[in-house]
Each structure stands twice: as structure tokens, then as C-alpha cells.
Amino acid sequence: MFEPVLLKNIDQPDSHLLSTYEAGGGYRALAKVLREFTPDDVVELVKQSNLRGRGGAGFPTGMKWSFVPKRADKPKYLCCNADEGEPGTFKDRIIMERDPHQLIEGLAVSAYAIGAKTAYVYVRGEYVTAIRRLEQAIAEAQAKGYLGTGILGTDFAFAVHIHCGAGAYICGEETAMLESLEGRRAQPRLKPPFPAVAGLYASPTVINNVETLACVPHIVVRGADWFRNIGPAKSPGPKLYCLSGQVRKPGLYELPMGIPLRELVEEHAGGALPGRRIKAVIPGGVSAPVIPERGLDVGMDFDSLAAVGSMLGSAGVVVIDDTTCMVKVATRIVEFFHHESCGKCTPCREGLNWAVKVMRRIEAGEGEPGDLEQLDGLCKGIFGNTFCALGDGAAMGLRAALAHFRDEFAAHIEEHRCPFH
Amino acid sequence: MGMREQIETAAARYPDRRSAIMPALLIAQKAHGHLPGPVLEEVADILGVERIWVYELATFYTLFHTEPVGRFHLQLCDNIACMLCGAERLLAHMETVLGIGKGGTTPDGLFTLSTVECLGACEMAPVMQVGDDYHGNLDAARLDALLGSLRAHAGRLATVDPASAPSPGE
């Protein structure tokens, strides 16, 4: 039986308060690193744990930290990406609302590791409750000496600030988020330079996701071996899975990395709604290519999902049943990417606009022969040719829908109507 | 705290005042309900930044409203999870009940109806944000009850003291 790690506090009354967090062993990791570890020791520990970023890309966290130059004449920054906008994802919101100190301790330990004195938590503006809870938690932590100057009697000084987003999915892209933090429109930057070298205010910057940072204190307290032994060794750890859509028990589940998608959906989340059958599942937010029901026996980890042409992404698991039209699903997803395209590069801005027009036409029963080939061509024109991963995500998702459910698309064109209406 | 003081407090968090434009716009919008040109110019003047920098953010980010919105902004998520759980029917229901289309505001200025992209609360789909609050697991009956309570709330405030009415969601 897997014991929850990241969610162990959340069902307690007042789980968001410092007293609850401390009673569960909170801030012991910060005390331990300040007493026993050099910053390099922390980086090495996180490298050994094989922790990979939970924001979607799965980049090794310790390696990301090690890219920060040891000596720099500029201040270093830690940024937390809490702009959770990937449709189907709500894990970071629940951590921030119900256990904000877990994030703050993760920030403090990580800042110590990379030598940052300031962190900005970029929270999406809609998350009003999360923002209030974080503000309260920062004030509590400051009053108790976990933040501020002379933390726990050492010379470590560290401040956390909240920056509210204002509704732009593209801010999940780390360099777009930095532009936004600097007071500009959120459009991604050309890389290199990578943020570790020149990020926020052209200073060395590390950007980590909420769930990634929340893992860090547990690694400090329980060790790299403990973490690496949960799930697949190359993609290990406790993992938050967001279950939503047409499923009996939607909600947030914490289980080991690598759990089979079928077990997650059918056993933990209770399977299909009464009288219905699962048709397909999106495993990692809408950027992740859809998997038809027959493909559900895949492990929920970065490598296993990549091997079947999809991705773990943000682990936003959206369940779709047999009453739902896949053309409608695919159209809605492409509409989303089109709406959120920042407009910087042509393949994404124009390609998605074009794709939406063709897809709406097909969905309305007004599709024409050649439309599917045109969509294939648009996917090809977008994928790999955009400035950032937003366009790739849109193209990969559409390509998978066209590949797995081509008969549904074709039926709309042949019958001049949606077969599901 | 007045708007200027709040903006100065926000600006102190950053080494560059340009970074404070977003927080300043959120503060200004809370104070004024929306962000007309003169408010944008005031924000630029308080921060001492170029006006175009303020305009470009106010028009890029969807949470900023340069046009007035109703007293209660009904923001229904119609992204994938909410769509799969019936958001379209809820939108049609609200359009009928309120007599306005998507993007419209009721003549009494009470409600503006919008659809929004994923609110990050898919476990309680379909979900709608009104002011600061999320309302989840919605169906037509719950929506009717919610709209009724918002109307009653506005009515109570109007009979007490319109000047002291808090902004939506407070």
C-alpha cells in the first residue's frame, strides 16, 4: 500500500496552517540542510534522487540546478511556475490551497541549493484562494524565522514573493513567464541563453514547478534512495495525477510514478460512468496525445508514455467515453491552443487559426474531401517549426486524434453531419 | 490603503518598476471595476513607466478588462473537462435565463456572461468562477440557485448602502 507523501497533510483540519505543517514534521528538511549540507550537497542529493520536473517536460531537476554558475556577479533567482493552465490539471492548486508550507519549504531548500535569496511564485490570477493561502503562509513562515534574514540562526537569507498571473496559458512556458515577470507581454524568448545563465533580469534563474519543489523537502528528510525506489528508477517518485472528465470518481490521486494508466482510471478513479465505455484517455493535459482505450496498459511515467508517442506532461488525465464525439474533443482542444497562441511565430498563430476553421467546418457537417489531408499538412507545418512548445503540443494532439479516430472525422465529412447528434 | 500606496507596496517587491505593471493593473481593476484609458495612464504615471507598456499588458492578458463588466462576472469554463461534463448545456441554460448571449451583460448591469479557458478545477467540472469564488459540480438547478443568491446579495446591498457595496466576490 502506497503511503501518500505530497498529500499526506491535506485532509487534516487547517492543513494550510504552519502549526499543522510543523506537527507533521514540516521545516525539518530546511533545518537539516542548513545544519548539515553545503549547497552543492543539496544539488547532488537531488541529482541522486532522479527527481524530474513535474511541470510537463520531465527535465532532471538536479541537473537544471547544476547549470547555475557557481560564481555570478548578479543575484540569482528562483522562480516557481504555479501558472497551472494546462487543461485537465489542478494538482498545484490543491498543494497551494491545502499545504502551502510544503511549497515554501521546498522553495527555501532549493534556493539554498542554487544560492538564490529571492523567489517569485508565479500563480495564475484565477487561483484567488491559493494566493491568499500562500500569502498567509509566507507571513507565518516569516514570523517563525523560516523566511527572512538569519533563517534558523544561520546567515541564510531568503524572501518569497507572489506574482499574480492574469490569464495567459503561455506563461507556463518558462521564458514567457520570465517576460511576464519583467512586465512584458508573455512571449517566449530565444534560447540560448538558457535561464540558468541569463533568466530573470538577465540573472541566473531556476524555474521549477510547484509539485517538483514540494518533492524536495521529502528527498532531504528521507533520502535519495527512498525517492528513487518509488516507481521506475529513471522516472521515480510519488506523483500527483489529476483525474477528470467522464469518469466516476474525478479527483487528485497520489500514487507512484509509473502506475498503469488503466489501473489509475479503472480502479482508482472508478472507471466509466454507468452504462458507458471508455473510448480514449488524454494522459497528461491537452498537450499530450490522446490514447485510445486499447492503449491504456501503459505506465504513467515520462519514458513509458514517450515510448507510445504520448507524454506524461502535467499528468492531467482526461477520460473520454463512447458518447462523446472525438472531432468535437479535438476541435475544442485546437480552439484552446489557437486562443492561447501568443502570436509571436507564424506557424502557431496562422496554422492553428487555419486548423480551427477546417475543424469547425468538419464538426458542423460541412467538411469537404481533402480536409483531413489539409489537417495532416497543417500538423506537419506546425510541428517542429514553432518558437516554443505550445505549437508542438497542439500539433501532436491533433495528429494523434487524426491517427486514432480518423473514421470519426471521415464520417462527419461523408455523412455531412455529426454522427453523435 | 489607497491605490497608489498599494501599487508602491507591490513595486517594492521587484528590482525594476516595470515588473509591477501587472500587479498594479490588478489593484487598479479591483478599485475601478475595469481599466479604461485614464486608469491605465494613472497606473503608468504612478509607476513612472511608459504608457504603452501598460496598454500592451492590459490588452494582452485576458483577466484585464478594458471595457466595463457586470456586477457579477459569470465565467463558465468550457474547456475539455467541463465540456465533457455538460458545460455547453449550462451555457445555453444561462443564456436563456439571463436573456443574453456569451459576452453580453444584462440591462441592469448585474451579470456579464463569459466562457473561459480551463480554470484548473477539473475535479469539480463543470465549474464557473464568479468574482473570487469557484462554483463546481454545477447543473441547471444549482446554477439557478447561484444566480438567485447573487441577485439577492445585490438586492440586499442596494437596500443597505450602495456606496459601501463590496466588489463582486468579497
At residue B1, the pLDDT reads: 82
Please check the confidence at residue A364 and state whether its pLDDT lies above 60.
yes
Residue B34 lies in a domain: yes
Q: Which residues touch A143 (CB under 8 Å, ≥6 apart)? A: none
Find the domain containing B8 and state its range: 3-60
Collapsing DSSP to helix, strand or coil, B46 comes out as helix
B30, B34, B77, B80: best to mutate for the A interface, most A CBs within 10 A: B80
CB-based contact A30:A152 (threshold 8 Å): yes
At residue A421, the pLDDT reads: 81
Residue B65 lies in a domain: no
Angle between helices A100-114 and A91-98 (to 10 degrees): 100
Cβ <8 Å between A245 and B84 = yes
Q: What percent of chain B has pLDDT over 70?
A: 92
Q: What is the mean pLDDT of residues A223-242?
A: 97
Residue B10 lies in a domain: yes
Cβ <8 Å between A167 and B19 = no
At residue B165, the pLDDT reads: 46
Residue B66 lies in a domain: no
Average pLDDT across chain B, whole number: 93
CB-closest option in B20, B62, B134 to A183: B20
Q: For residue range B86-135, what is the model confidence (pLDDT) as tens digits?
A: 999 999 999 999 999 999 999 999 999 999 999 999 999 999 999 999 99
A164 touches chain B (CB under 8 A): yes
Q: Which CATH number fits the domain that encloses residue B17? A: 1.10.10
Residue B95 lies in a domain: yes
Cβ <8 Å between A245 and B26 = no
Enumerate long-range contacts of A150-158, CB under 8 Å, 24 or more apart.
A151/A30, A151/A34, A151/A108, A152/A30, A152/A31, A152/A34, A154/A34, A156/A34, A156/A112, A157/A117, A158/A107, A158/A108, A158/A111, A158/A112, A158/A116, A158/A117, A158/A118, A158/A119
A85 touches chain B (CB under 8 A): yes
Instruction: Judge if B82 and B160 occupy the same domain.
Output: yes
At residue B162, the pLDDT reads: 45
CB-closest option in B16, B64, B122 to A201: B16
Instruction: Judge if B139 and B90 occupy the same domain.
Output: yes
A201, A331, A332, A342: best to mutate for the B interface, most B CBs within 10 A: A332
B22, B56, B89, B128: best to mutate for the A interface, most A CBs within 10 A: B22
CB-closest option in A181, A251, A324 to B19: A181
Instruction: Judge if B82 and B56 occupy the same domain.
Output: no
Cβ <8 Å between B20 and A84 = no
Instruction: Judge if B78 and B156 occupy the same domain.
Output: yes
Chain A residues 214-273 within an 8 A CB cutoff of chain B: 242-246, 250-252
Q: Which CATH number fits the domain that encloses residue B94? A: 3.40.30.10
In angstroms, the separation between the Cα of residue B38 and the nearest Cα of chain A is 20
Instruction: Judge if B98 and B157 occupy the same domain.
Output: yes
Of the candidates B60, B83, B105, which is a domain's last residue?
A: B60
B26 chain-A contacts, CB cut-off 8 A: 125, 164, 166
Instruction: Judge if B41 and B90 occupy the same domain.
Output: no
What is the β-pairing status of strands B72-77 and B111-116? parallel
CB-closest option in A87, A185, A201 to B80: A87
Chain B residues 21-60 within an 8 A CB cutoff of chain A: 21-23, 25-26, 49, 53, 56-57, 60
Q: For residue range A31-90, what is the model confidence (pLDDT) as tens digits?
A: 999 999 999 999 999 999 999 999 999 999 999 999 999 887 899 999 999 999 999 999
A184 chain-B contacts, CB cut-off 8 A: 18, 53, 56-57
Instruction: Judge if B82 and B38 occupy the same domain.
Output: no
Q: What is the pTM of this model?
A: 0.96
Instruction: Judge if B140 and B80 occupy the same domain.
Output: yes
Phi and psi at residue A292, in whole multiples of 5°?
Answer: -70, 160
Residue B11 lies in a domain: yes
CB-closest option in A126, A161, A244 to B123: A244
Instruction: Judge if B92 and B18 occupy the same domain.
Output: no
CB-based contact A385:A391 (threshold 8 Å): yes
Of the candidates B38, B60, B82, which is a domain's last residue?
A: B60
Instruction: Judge if B30 and B76 occupy the same domain.
Output: no
Of the candidates B13, B29, B60, which is a domain's last residue?
A: B60
Chain B residues 94-123 within an 8 A CB cutoff of chain A: 116-123
Place of cell 487559426: A353
Provide ipTM, 2 decimals: 0.95
Instruction: Judge if B56 and B77 occupy the same domain.
Output: no
Instruction: Judge if B153 and B77 occupy the same domain.
Output: yes
At residue B169, the pLDDT reads: 42
Q: For residue range A90-138, what is the model confidence (pLDDT) as tens digits?
A: 999 999 999 999 999 999 999 999 999 999 999 999 999 999 999 999 9
In angstroms, the separation between the Cα of residue A31 and the nearest Cα of chain B is 26
Number of domains in chain B: 2
Residue B170 lies in a domain: no
Residue B50 lies in a domain: yes
